[in-house]
Amino acid sequence: MTETVPILKHPMSKYIREDRQPWIFCSGCSVGVVTQMIARAVDDLGIDFHKVVVVSGIGCTGRISGYFKTGTYHTTHGRAIAFAEGVKIANPELEVIVVSGDGDIAAIGGNHLIHACRRNIDMTIWSND
């Protein structure tokens, strides 16, 4: 009798697009790790993944949104937070996650960050730098 070996899937494969593997990130880069940590946080918190939107800027960090199996926006430089605010205001039920680099968030997008904090919009913002 031959025994079939089950194909093991990564536990976060329900959130990450497997057709986009392997990662394009450089060896040792934390962006791939952060992508997995976002998926794990969604899983651990029991968030309805159909209500998650990932918004990203440009550069290496901006590629994160394309890896998720949910609503995503890849925005122009420095405008990720502004786009995310619009998404959250249009549909407050959504869990909005912004992932961008320091140029997007602190430099050209710095005023958007300040005003998002002032408005106290309920969203998560992560910068890789």
**More confident: 38 or 103:** 38
What is the full DSSP assignment across 20-86?
Answer: GPSP-SPTT-HHHHHHHHHHHHHHHHT--GGGEEEEE-SHHHHTGGGGBSSEEEE--TT-HHHHHHH
Q: Which domains does the chain have, with CATH numbers?
A: 18-127 (3.40.50.970)
What was the pLDDT predicted at 3?
75
Q: Which of 22-31, 37-46, 55-64, 105-114 has the lowest mean pLDDT?
A: 22-31
**More confident: 10 or 116:** 116
Q: Which of 3-7, 26-30, 46-50 has the lowest mean pLDDT?
A: 3-7
What was the pLDDT predicted at 27?
80
Average pLDDT over residues 86-112: 91
